[in-house]
């Protein structure tokens, strides 16, 4: 296997120190090549990636069908603005509609953009006096200013005020608190069916159905942010299908294009016209490269029966990690839904991430104490066991 790079990891880190704004906490590793759930650095070291692309690489690194589609499209038509029609975007919207609740799509480039579109749609679709949206503590909806205001985590608000007005925050899982916040100016409820960045928090039984009932009773839009949980990660095409509760609006991104930048907001044909011409747009949204990658991603999931694979992997991880919990006092709770996995520790987990990287495993820690895994749907059983073995070695030792 050939791995080539002009600079080694140390030289690349130095390049970043001089020229790249340091707004990310980066590890001193220069990744140069990926294949499936493996990725290599410029020194030729292999890493098993159980957090590929922050969850964007749901089919692993460089899925062949997506790569081929992008290569073919790049040679034919790289970009055209949305003032024209293009077949691939229409076909992509059709495929998403047929696999969800039969609505229409607005395309953009990221989850934050998709949620911005949903926020604007909620205000445009409801009477002018209605503008408030209730979101949930621990939720995460993106880093644009509107999406940051929707995100009910004070640490992301520090130094940015005044934030966009109109957001009210309720405890995740507390229907009574939600109802108490609804008033005559409320237009929507916005929730992640499973909170991702918030620590892989799974909703209590009946919570999402209760939100649907409240939305219907008070004539509010119900928005599901499926940026992280959607596109098959939970073993169904979309998270709402897993919980049997259909939203009015759904936002998607991350995995939607198999590793290529892309996002979408889906809503019903009745609500969609409220996002009228001139009120919202995206220059690159739904561009030919993203559209072809999105189609190839959906086709790969179907052709390789990866929805069932996600369910199988979820049970494999659940079995291994719950057994590990019995042996390891450091684990407080294991939460698994398809290939969305959280291991809550009794203390901070940054050392676990560093120790795992040193042993050739890439993972993530969120909310300081939750080890988060978002593995590819096509991860092999052997790779899943390899990752669990490394985690077990680290956690049984109490850290590095």
Give the integer Cα–Cα distance in Å for 10 and 42: 10
- Residue 225 is assigned to a ligand binding site: yes
Q: Which of 136, 140, 238, 243 is catalytic?
A: 140
Q: Is 112 annotated as a binding residue?
A: yes
Nearest CA to 200 among 329, 324, 374?
Answer: 374
Q: What are phi and psi of 108, to 5 degrees?
A: -145, -155
Q: Catalytic site residue 224?
A: no
Considering 51, 225, 243, 311, which one is annotated as catalytic? 225
Sheet holding 46-49, edge to edge: 31-35, 38-41, 46-49, 361-362
283 is in an annotated binding site: yes
Q: Is 226 annotated as a binding residue?
A: yes
**Catalytic annotation on 132?**
no
- Token pair, residue 3, equals 């791995």
140 is catalytic: yes
Nearest CA-CA partner of 286 in 254, 262, 259: 262
| 263 assigned to a ligand binding site | no
Cβ atoms within 10 A of the Cβ of 110, count?
20
Residue from 132, 168, 254, 311 carrying the catalytic annotation: 254
Decide if 202 contacts 194 (C-beta within 8 A): yes
Taking the chain, what is the end-to-end CA distance rounded to the nearest angstrom?
30
Q: How many CB atoms lie within 10 A of CB 397?
A: 11
Crossing angle of helices 288-303 and 64-76, in 10° steps, is: 150
Helix (H, G, I), strand (E, B) or coil at 186: strand
Annotated binding site, which residues? Answer: 111-112, 140, 143, 225-228, 282-283
Annotated binding site for pyridoxal 5'-phosphate, which residues? Answer: 111-112, 140, 225-228, 283
Annotated binding site for N(2)-acetyl-L-ornithine, which residues? Answer: 143, 282
- Active site residue ranges: 140, 225, 254
């Amino acid at each position: 296997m050939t791995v080539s790079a002009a600079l080694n990891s140390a030289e690349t880190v130095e390049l970043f120190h001089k020229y790249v704004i340091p707004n990310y906490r980066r590890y001193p590793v220069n990744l140069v090549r990926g294949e499936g759930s493996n990725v290599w650095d410029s020194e030729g070291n292999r890493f098993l990636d159980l957090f590929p692309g922050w969850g964007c690489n749901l089919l692993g690194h460089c899925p062949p069908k997506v790569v081929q589609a992008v290569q073919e499209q790049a040679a034919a038509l790289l970009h055209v603005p949305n003032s024209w029609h293009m077949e691939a975007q229409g076909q992509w919207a059709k495929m998403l509609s047929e696999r969800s609740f039969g609505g229409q799509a607005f395309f953009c480039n990221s989850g934050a953009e998709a949620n911005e579109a949903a926020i604007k749609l909620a205000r445009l679709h409801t009477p002018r006096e209605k503008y408030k949206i209730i979101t949930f503590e621990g939720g995460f909806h993106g880093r644009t200013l509107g999406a940051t205001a929707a995100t009910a985590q004070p640490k992301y608000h520090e130094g940015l005020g005044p934030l966009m007005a109109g957001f009210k925050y309720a405890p995740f899982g507390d229907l009574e608190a939600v109802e108490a916040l609804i008033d005559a100016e409320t237009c929507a409820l916005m929730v992640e069916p499973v909170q991702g960045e918030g620590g892989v928090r799974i909703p209590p039984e009946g919570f999402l159905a209760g939100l649907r009932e409240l939305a219907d009773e008070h004539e509010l839009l119900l928005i599901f942010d499926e940026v992280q949980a959607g596109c098959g990660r939970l073993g169904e095409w979309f998270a709402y299908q897993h919980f049997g509760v259909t939203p009015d609006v759904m936002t998607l991104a991350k995995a939607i294009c198999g590793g290529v930048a892309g996002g979408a907001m889906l809503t019903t044909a009745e609500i969609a016209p409220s996002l009228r011409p001139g009120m919202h747009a995206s220059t690159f949204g739904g561009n030919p490269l993203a559209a072809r990658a999105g189609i190839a991603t959906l086709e790969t999931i179907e052709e390789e029966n990866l929805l069932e694979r996600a369910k199988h992997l979820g049970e494999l991880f659940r079995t291994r990690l719950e057994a590990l919990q019995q042996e390891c006092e450091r684990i407080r709770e294991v939460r698994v839904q398809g290939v969305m996995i959280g291991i809550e520790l009794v203390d901070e987990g940054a050392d676990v991430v560093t120790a795992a990287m040193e042993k050739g495993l890439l993972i993530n820690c969120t909310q300081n104490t939750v080890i988060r895994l978002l593995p590819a749907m096509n991860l092999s059983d052997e790779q899943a066991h390899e990752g669990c073995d490394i985690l077990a070695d680290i956690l049984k030792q109490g850290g590095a």
